[in-house]
Amino acid sequence: MPTRKKIGLIGAGNIGGELARLCAAKELGDVWLFDIPTKENFAKGKALDLEQNAAVVGYDSTVRGTSNWADLEGADVLIITAGIPRKPGQSRDDLVAINLPIIRNVANNAKQFCPNAFAIVISNPLDAMVYEYKRVLGCAREKVAGMAGVLDSARFQLFLAREAGVSVKDVRAMVLGGHGDDMVPVLSMTTIHGIGVQNLIGKDKLDAIIDRTRKGGGEIVNLMGTSAYYAPASSAVSMAEAFLLDQKRLLACAAYLDGEYGYSDLFMGVPVIVGGKGIEKIITIPLTEEERVMLAKSAKSVQAVVDVVKKN
Ligand code: APR
């Protein structure tokens, strides 16, 4: 019997490849890089490249490519990037019609082959795709999370660090709400090593940083012609690592809300504790009136896309 954890990466594209590299290099488990049959050789080629990389870098995790769901049988973690990324001028919500049948296909197969895996969804529009994944799987809310908050918070932290002239390591910030243009950077909880950020950065600069954070994904799409992959992959791996190593990390993740923050039957970015049981706890933090209003606006946008999903 294998004793290493089994990690299934669904989608062997830009994010999938970087996910595989990180999971293997950190020796989080043995990796299966899955893609559709017409991309199977591509997935196998990436996997072989990463196995050869192991001999240089020095890791013992295996990386294999496949288009056969049976290879994912019993996976401990699934990270799902299956779908089409944005092109310049597109919003994440524009992807719903294309990516909805894809996430349904993935969820139906996951239900059959690895229903107990902790699933981290990255495909966009994130909050709607993770909702649909859980609905099809019918799994407990502990076992499925959307990756957005870690990435959006990282973008916010970087811009704050650059503006304040401090290390990114000293900035603590969380971005909550939906993974869209009205995401909610929680300024009241943003600190530079405990010092409230408003003490160090002026309002005009903060407003500009919040705006850049909200459009952070689009800025990269406009530059590259496709969406980001290094930071998204690192963000999802931090969630997978928290689960596999039972780290009890407090991270901003899209979680299924059942009354928390006043919302139900909706996935949205909130602070959660990720450990060996998956999403172990949703943390409720006090928000200012302004932040509550922003969260309500963001929830409305998420609900609109979920309503499209429900109708189709
Ligand atoms: N099952 C598995 N893989 C699939 C499926 C499917 N049903 N349908 C498509 N894919 C694969 C594609 O063949 C492709 O290799 O998903 C992969 C996606 O890779 P990229 O096109 O490189 O996209 P990437 O940048 O990795 O982004 C993937 O994450 O951030 C989001 O908006 C982004 O929805 C997009 C997703």
| Single pTM value for the model | 0.98
pLDDT at 1: 56
64 contacts: CB under 8 Å, gap ≥ 6: 30, 31, 32, 33, 44, 47, 71
pLDDT at 2: 62
Return the sign of the alpha-carbon dihedral for residues 232, 238, 243, 245: positive
H runs (alpha helix) in 148-276: 149-164, 203-214, 216-224, 230-244
Which residue's C-alpha comes closest to atom 19 of ligand 1? 13
Report the DSSP beta bridge partners of residue 252. 271
13 lines ligand 1 (CB under 6 A): yes
Q: Which of 157, 155, 174, 169 minimizes the C-alpha distance to 285? A: 174
Residue 195 Cα to ligand 1 midpoint, Å, equals 40
**What residues are labeled active site?**
179
Return the sign of the alpha-carbon dihedral for residues 179, 181, 186, 191: positive
Domains and CATH numbers, the chain: 6-146 (3.40.50.720), 149-311 (3.90.110.10)
What is the largest distance, in Å, between two alpha-carbon atoms of the chain?
Answer: 59
Residue 126 Cα to ligand 1 midpoint, Å, equals 13
Residue 81 Cα to ligand 1 midpoint, Å, equals 5
Q: How far apart are the first and last CA of the chain?
A: 42
- Which amino acid is located at 56 in the chain? V
pLDDT at 3: 85
Pocket test for ligand 1, best of 9, 84, 113 (most atoms within 8 A of CB): 84
**pLDDT averages per 10-residue partition of the chain, 312 residues:** 89 98 98 98 98 97 98 98 94 92 98 98 97 97 98 98 98 96 95 97 98 96 97 98 98 98 97 98 97 97 95 91
| Ligand 1 atom with minimal separation from the 95 CA | 34
d(CA 156, CA 175): 8
